Structure 1
Amino acid sequence: MRFLKSFARGLGLFLVVLIGLAAWLALPWFVLLPLVIVFALWMLLTRRGRQAGSVTQVGLSTLRQRIGSSSVIVIGIAGVVAVLVALLAMAEGYRATLRASGSEDTAIVLRGASSAEVMSTLSHDAVNQIAQAPGVARDADNRALMSPELVVAANLPVRNGGPDEDGSVQLRGVGAAAWTVRPNVKVVQGAKFAPGRRELMAGVGAQRQFKGLEPGKQIRLGSQLWTVTGIFQSGDATDSELWADAEVVATTYRRGSTRTSVTAKLTNPGAFAGFKAALAGNPQLDVDADTTLSYFSKQSETMTKIIRAIGMVVGGIMGIGAVFGALNTMFATVAARAREIATLRAIGFRGVPVVVAVMLETMLLALVGGVLGGVLAWVIFNGFTASTLAGGIGQLTFAFEVSPDVLWTGIKWALAIGFVGGLFPALRAARLPITVALREV
């Protein structure tokens, strides 16, 4: 019966700690800041708080004598945070790159129920009707500022890969207005391709990823030789693509007059609602319209969630190891300071200040480890370029982004590990009988 009661109390404590950690990791900084202020006021204005501060100062003053064991906590947590921040920075960079590819004043139109461009097919008649929809901006000659586009997958030799190692790249056939619709796309080397010719341009990300994409060179796509005329840069997902004339791409890949999507410049962001309603109300069209900002944000959701989930799982597994390291260290520290803690309790210090002091010491060490891990991740990974499949047809090149939110998440994980690692040793220190502790050598 006693065993069952102890087990029930332990299980209850475990569940409370687990729920508390989940709440801690979910709360934003502006909610946690008032809690920190309240705790600081408790430390300054109450008798037990001041006692906890005194015990903490005593413990911190002996850190030099325990530098070896204390460094176990710092290094272990730093490793956890560095790995976690790196994986979250990957997800953040992937999401930011795709979000930067869109805006609220441009719209993308796909065939109805198509979740990505590669799954869509628009007829020539549908493209013409989309051009007549209200809300589409027009140039000085009253031509619709829109680019009917054809997206296909092509294979190219991977740079720094084996002689027969190919990767998938996205080849986008664009219309004449593509440069106006996407004003952020700039030629940085060479020149634009000529309409009607088997010529193409490569984004800077694609050039880094694949061989042979230097201006003046020829590459083979779709059993045909293409001449690379230049390199462009956009600062978004387009950097990972190849661009060519849509008619030539359609002829090479036998797509006839069909297109996969239409990207249109709107007169203003507020015109999208009328544009979408007009397309939805046209009985001759079966299309879905979205702003490019919304479309590319949705494209990033699945991969971002997967990467973040992997980061949390890996961080959790490593965090368990760091927790055990902290537990061992703090149990040893409590054992070594047993007589000191017993003496403090004998002269009037209560159990709560002792618990708070031990946990504060552990969490301060965890904070140091979290900051160290975050700094290491920022130095090594911020701006680091990687590539992965996007939309199932090509490789997207993006840069890791160690944002303040990512660093804050790493710090919260570090403090959570420190909390768990210090809680049970702190409870043991507070419950240790004074007479027993005073007899220990």
Structure 2
Amino acid sequence: MNPTSYFSEIAPVTFKGPDTTDELAYRFYDKDRVVMGKRMEDYLRFAVCFWHSFCWNGFDVFGAGTFNRPWHAGANDADAARFKRAVAFDFFNKLDLPFYAFHDVDVMAATETVGEYQHHFAEAVDDLERLQGETGRKLLWGTANLFSHPRYAAGGATNPNPEVVAFGALQVRSALEATHRLGGSNYVLWGGREGYETLLNTDIGRELDQLGRFLSLVVEHKHKIGFKGTILIEPKPHEPTKHQYDFDTATVFGFLKRYGLENEVKVNIEANHATLARHTFEHEIATARALGIFGSIDANRGDNQNGWDTDQFPNSVEEMTLAMLEVIRAGGFTDGGFNFDAKVRRQSSDPVDMVHGHVGAVDVIARALLAAAAIVEDGRIDQVRADRYAGWDGEFGKAVSAENSSLASIADLAVAKEIRPAHKSGRQERLENLVNRFVGDAR
């Protein structure tokens, strides 16, 4: 089977404007449109993910795969991996999105031994380099999968068995060097099983120190090989483990501070992981911005009625607008971007369903960018925020925040001024109405 035949009935996806009736066209994503001083393509930096789009066959814990992709028909050998890579790049071209992302095992034949891993991954990287050259697609981030194989049942870097940690080091070194060779913008570490199921058999202090040392060694190797991209951690509170050490953005920052890595590592924020941590997506982005560790985004969504990682394509312009406001306030991306670490539903088994999922998500984010940019340019919401904290710019506020002030001097100031603080409205309903107005008007 020719790899280009899998999506052969689907025409290349192009921008046709808000009024088009073509369901497989972009209505709002006009890659050359300038928004906030940048081309939309450069501002959003969209990437398609190998992991869910081409490696998942539709299985879940209650049933077998439903997709019947041809590269899943037999063993995951070198031929199947080569075919999958070719189909994936044909898909990237159809969508005309600039980036892609992968785990090492996503793009290579299945292996068991160290030798097999080195051989098949090297073969895959050679092929990816060729495909990038032929198509012009670029790598947003690479990573190593230290969670799927049974050897990682107790984690990768935090594993109680040093042989497992060493195998993980092999994978991470290989994937980091491959990311560097392929011109990747970032390298991500997702600790899917870096946590615990029960404290009865877990030494938290030892495992945190192992994880801190492992991450320090990754940063050291990044500088050794001359990789200029960003090292990212992807926070997640639980699932598959009961408790994970990278619970949320604030927890990750505390971890980085402890091991002296806060200036070396940033976060890759996944919307669904924010949901699992009982946060909003925009909260995690705002926290990362405030702490100086905002890096990149996995654009998917969860379901508030489900307590697990459903990884659905984003479909709420309002929710995405709130997140995009925080991206704009962070100054946009540097190395990062929006990666679609999302998957179609098990019943969406046709090739065209993959296209619908990505086209809809691209347009949701593009429309949210337009709405958020209009909100910022309008200025009313930001003015309410500024007015709410205006007291800190006055004489009294400056006295309270002065570097030489103390708890006692501030208390004495309150006595001397005989202060009687007055309640001021937060204007929440007005702000929510303004957001909805701009969401409705975004074009």
TM-score, length-normalised on structure 1? Answer: 0.19
Query: Greater share of strand residues, 1 or 2?
Result: 1
Based on CA coordinates, which of the two structures has the bigger radius of gyration?
1
Query: Greater share of helix residues, 1 or 2?
Result: 1
Specify which structure has the bigger relative contact order, considering alpha-carbon pairs within 8 angstroms and separated by 6 or more residues.
Answer: 1
